[in-house]
Structure 1
Amino acid sequence: MKHDTIATYAFPPGGLPGQDGDPEGTAILTEAYAVIPAHVMRDIVTSFLPGWTGTRAWILARPMTGFAETFAQYAVELAPGGGSDDPEPDHAAQAVIFVAHGEARLALGGDSHELRAGSYAYIPASAVWTIWNTGDAPCGFHWIRKRWTPAPGITPPDAFVTHESDVPRMEMPDCDGVWSTQRFADPLDLRHDMHVNIVSIESGGRIPFAETHVMEHGLYVLSGHGRYLLNKDWVEVGPGDFMWLRAFCPQACIATGDETFRYLLYKDVNRHPALSLK
């Protein structure tokens, strides 16, 4: 199936709703999952980060005991000229950056990369990096952080920078091409203990079974609409909505509407589970 490149990616809207807004909303927090809709990602819930200038961040997920414990996920907005020369406070943390809009310059391991909408960067633990907005408009990017887990005989992954248009969509088996995944890291490369991929489901397509597995998930909807099964509930989601799933939460979806349903997906992989609680 031929796919068109998507030129736009959802990002938190900011601002503040008018007084005619419905305060009940559609946000959900349960023991198995959370849904943070785009319309609640407003100015008053942002944070300003130490070591960053001209920057605000929506912190969408952080490790929580008894829920999802492996990762943190942010949507970061850089004002023109904003950024950081010392962005990561935890030297054990690896990261993925995915740019939703605007322009930025990423200096990573002695190399400089010009980022634009659709750019993807993997940043290993202990890497030296900086990022600055080089454009005249705000730059928004998704930032996912996880501590890298060492394993015997395994060395840390190498840094890389690419663009989603250069990463092929791999069609899932027996689905007539309506369900595909862009895998930015080789699934068989055991150096990677997290994957951040883009999943695409054409209108009417579906994940045809309730996945139930050990991996935690952060899912940020980049475009399109879907009905998502989360535990026992079917939830309507669309551009900019975020879903946060603990391990073993049953999950499936059906793409609705006319546009391809696409989301940025985090999962932890390729390591033995610890046999004691920390």
Structure 2
Amino acid sequence: MSAKYFAPTGGHPPQTQLLTDRAIFKDAYAIIPKGTMCDIVTSFLPFWDDTRLWVIARPLSGFAETFSQYIMEVQPGGGSDTPELDAQAEGVLFVVEGSFTLSVNGKDHVLSEGGYAYLPPASGWTLRNTGDAVARFHWIRKSYDVVPGLDTPDVIITNENDISPTVMPGTDGKWVTTRFVDPADLRHDMHVTIVTFEPGAVIPFLETHVMEHGLYVLEGKAVYNLNNDWVEVEAGDFMWLRAFCPQACYAGGPGKFRYLLYKDVNRHMNLRITPKT
């Protein structure tokens, strides 16, 4: 399967550009359009060389609280030997442009466009851009929810192109999900998948559920219903949904509509407020 992935390149808009844009932040959802991902909103991380990033999600009290999501941009020769400073954090990397070498458990893996890596807590991974082009990838982080009696998940290294998508029932293949993790594997407390709609396909009801979502549009455009607001989204846009935000979509075409999806799964709800220390 051939795939395209939108990746931001930064830059800065001219003084002649209108201020009106599609950025939205509400109680139930946020839209971060691709046009906002310019140079002025990038950041840097400790112990990462020749690297900048766009932070498109972070835990916010009263909003989405389980995950953070970055779009990383690593120059040739850049990377990190100490990328993750939180020993309890698990991570998913998904490559949208270029390639890099990921080292984990003493083994090197070259991840190129469509590449996926699941990295359990304390896996001691490192990353270097050993190529000649800029590498851009998503890095989704979550504090792993340990369950006594369940092992920590294994490292997973794969590529979207090596996975057969799962067809959603009753859709004649017009709505499919590429799953990198077995949904029945309860060691995992988050899923990162790729959802694909053919032109004309829909989510035919307002999903309303406890899972939080990050949806980064990889390709195409669609109209989304978020908490009964209809919003247009296109490749490069990010939708950030808190728990129970009603959601549905219509993929109008002319091409496929595809997005990278995060959701938290497979755990009891926390009934206690953790005291601050």
**Is TM-score (shorter-chain normalized) higher than 0.5?**
yes
Q: Distance in 1 between matches of 2:134 and 2:173?
A: 36
Q: Identify the range of structure 1 (16-25 vs 128-137) with the bigger mean alpha-carbon deviation.
A: 16-25
Q: Distance in 1 between matches of 2:273 and 2:249?
A: 32
Q: 2:264 matched to 1:268? A: yes
Q: Of 231, 240, 246, which aligns to 2:242? A: 246
2:29 — aligned with what? 33
Report if aligned partners of 2:198, 2:253 keep a CA contact under 8 Å in 1.
Answer: no
Shift of 1:22: 1.6
> 1:60-94 deviations in whole A, cap 9, x for unaligned?
00000000000000000001111000000111000
2:122 — aligned with what? 126
1:151 — aligned with what? 147
1:202 — aligned with what? 198
Report if aligned partners of 2:98, 2:136 keep a CA contact under 8 Å in 1.
Answer: yes
2:210 — aligned with what? 214
1:172 — aligned with what? 168
1:18 — aligned with what? 14
Gaps of 5+ in 2: none
The residue type paired with residue 222 of structure 1 is: L
Q: Of 69, 76, 79, which aligns to 1:80? A: 76
Report if aligned partners of 2:189, 2:265 keep a CA contact under 8 Å in 1.
Answer: yes
Shift of 1:256: 1.7
Q: RMSD of aligned C-alpha atoms?
A: 0.8
Q: Distance in 1 between matches of 2:119 and 2:18?
A: 40
Q: Of 212, 230, 234, which aligns to 1:234? A: 230
1:56 — aligned with what? 52
Q: Distance in 2 between matches of 1:243 and 1:42?
A: 17
Gaps of 5+ in 1: none
Q: Distance in 1 between matches of 2:115 and 2:21?
A: 32
> 1:82-135 deviations in whole A, cap 9, x for unaligned?
100000011100000000011100001111001111100000011111001111
TM-score by length of 1: 0.97
Q: 2:30 matched to 1:5? A: no
Report if aligned partners of 1:13, 1:38 keep a CA contact under 8 Å in 2.
Answer: no
Q: Of 211, 215, 220, which aligns to 1:224? A: 220
The residue type paired with residue 220 of structure 2 is: G
Q: Distance in 2 between matches of 1:17 and 1:273?
A: 43
Shift of 1:268: 0.2
The residue type paired with residue 200 of structure 2 is: G
TM-score by length of 2: 0.97
Shift of 1:276: 2.0
Q: 2:61 matched to 1:65? A: yes
Q: Distance in 2 between matches of 1:77 and 1:272?
A: 35
State, as a whole percentage, how many aligned pairs show the same letter.
Answer: 57
Q: Distance in 1 between matches of 2:173 and 2:247?
A: 20
Q: Distance in 1 between matches of 2:27 and 2:270?
A: 21
Report if aligned partners of 1:13, 1:39 keep a CA contact under 8 Å in 2.
Answer: no
1:137 — aligned with what? 133
> 1:15-41 deviations in whole A, cap 9, x for unaligned?
011122121211000000000000110
Runs of 4+ in 1 over 6 A off after TM superposition: none
Shift of 1:13: 3.1
2:98 — aligned with what? 102
> 1:180-236 deviations in whole A, cap 9, x for unaligned?
001100000000000000000001101111100000000000001010111110110
Q: Distance in 2 between matches of 1:12 and 1:249?
A: 27
Q: 2:184 matched to 1:188? A: yes
